[in-house]
């Protein structure tokens, strides 16, 4: 397993995303590089890579995002209407996944410890 270390402070991180977040100035938004598509839209590669990393144990999510991204790239070159629909669908799907993950994390924190009975 790779380990990432901040050159300035020596803090250790479990992934490159945490290291970059640590090194991003507080007054700046999350680092999210993007590619400019032929029609001027941007494909946010940073978000795409984070999603793939966070879902690396879920092949179905990786398949979905790979196909969605591929179709979006196709639509960006060929059809404005299709692209706008795909972007809207992808944004809604991604936000729902984030919501599901946040809810799951919240519920796991609130569950009593089965062994201690607390």
pLDDT of amino acid 29: 87
Q: Which residues contact 51 (CB under 8 A, 6 or more apart)?
A: 61, 65, 94, 97
> DSSP string spanning 48-115?
HHHHHHHTTT-HHHHHHHHHHHHHHHHHHHH-HHHHHHHHHHHHHHHHHHHHHHHHHHHHHHHSPPTT
pLDDT of amino acid 18: 92
pLDDT of amino acid 83: 66
pLDDT of amino acid 116: 53
As beta bridge partners, residue 35 has 43
Tell me how far the alpha carbon of residue 51 is from its chain's centroid. 3
pLDDT, one tens digit for every residue, the chain (118 residues): 578 899 989 899 999 999 999 999 888 888 999 999 877 888 899 999 999 999 999 998 899 889 888 888 887 787 766 667 776 776 777 677 777 777 777 777 776 655 555 5
């Amino acid at each position: 397993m790779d380990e990432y270390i901040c050159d300035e402070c020596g803090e250790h991180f479990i992934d490159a995303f945490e290291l970059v977040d640590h090194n991003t100035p507080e007054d700046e938004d999350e680092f999210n590089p993007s590619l400019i598509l032929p029609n001027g839209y941007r494909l946010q590669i940073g978000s795409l890579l984070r999603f793939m990393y966070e879902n690396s144990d879920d092949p179905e999510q990786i398949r979905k995002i790979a196909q969605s991204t591929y179709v979006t790239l196709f639509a960006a070159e060929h059809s404005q209407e299709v692209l706008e629909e795909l972007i809207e669908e992808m944004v809604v799907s991604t936000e729902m996944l984030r919501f599901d993950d946040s809810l799951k994390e919240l519920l796991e924190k609130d569950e009593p410890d089965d062994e201690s009975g607390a």
